[in-house]
Amino acid sequence: MKFLVTGSAGFIGFHLAKRLLADGHTVVGVDGLTTYYSTALKRRRHAMLEESERFTPIVGVIEDASLVELAGWLGEPDVIIHLAAQPGVRYGLENPRAYIDANVIGSWNILELARALKPKHLLMASTSAIYGANQSIPFSESDQADEPISLYAATKKSMEAIAHAYSHLHQLPLTAMRFFTVYGPWGRPDMAPTKFVERILAGRPIEVYGMGKMKRDFTYVDDIVETIVRLVDVIPGSAGPVIAPKVHDTLSPVAPYRVVNIGRGEPIGLMQFVSTIERCLGKKAERIMLPMQSGDMTVTFADTSLAEALTGYAPSTPLDVGIGRFVDWYRKEGAVQEAESGDEAGVQAAEAAEEPKAS
């Protein structure tokens, strides 16, 4: 099949595009290579994808409607997977416009493209941050989730609402995927695993927010990709709702539209997460305990029953296995990428990563 993947130089987009190419598909990848974090990692990801003749990169932001239109007509996709976004919770306090531009206007451009091209399925990345102040645990797709506590979450919820309207008005088969705390090799440098590993290797203290009492539903990136790949052929509207014990299908009664959680379904305490990294590195961390930051959620916990019923797959990578793979990657590649960005801490981490691993 032919795929259009936005955010193809991003963390999840890179892994997904790599999987699709390995499965024999053709991929047009769109990415703005924005400077939210160093572009060295993004360029390396795209370069790896370009080793396949079935991958076509298009560099540009999805806020540019003409570029999105060009990518669509060039790729003639059977399926569009929209992963491009302005990520991060705290950055919304510094640059709110970036979230409106990418997550609302950019996503609307993708919807307009899908309206014109009529792919068999459009899958759009959303986030567990949408659940915000929701008190119901675990988070179910049927929860109201109308109290976002970050601009990032608010723009993603806006995207979901607009997407449902487009799905209804234009009979566009659409799945909104709410990801839960994705981690793994080639992860972003602003994410906790990279920050913690880089600082511990460099002998610098790590900052632990929420006094270490937060919990996250850490989900390994390969599990996310496997679920996405399986959802491609689960087209909303092609069949009736799932009828199974303890499963509430979010298939809309008025549109070929569905919302699906994709997570591990097992929240892990932040201090357990740090301890796992320490074991994999063979090195203890100096910890600075700090209060919660604005926009952070205390707990994320996915009800994964719908995703499992739809795909027959349950994310299962244990935390120690996933973190072990991330640490191995960082020692071989990640710290070098940080050093190439010219970041002083990255250079220190690159040097530390060359040291023999403690037993």
Q: Catalogue the active-site residues.
A: 152
Sole residue written with tokens 């960082």: 330
| Euclidean distance between CA atoms 206 and 278, whole angstroms | 12
Both tokens of 240, joined, read 């009736």
Q: How many CB atoms lie within 10 A of CB 353?
A: 23
Query: Around Cβ 71, how many Cβ atoms within 10 Å?
Result: 25
Q: Do residues 302 and 139 touch, judged by C-beta distance below 8 A? A: yes
Which are the contacts of 242, defined by CB distance < 8 A and separation ≥ 6?
Answer: 249, 251, 306, 309, 310
For residue 112, the SS3 value is helix
CA–CA separation, 175 vs 79, rounded Å?
Answer: 11
Answer whether 257's CB lies under 8 Å from 251's CB.
yes
For the chain, the residue count is: 359
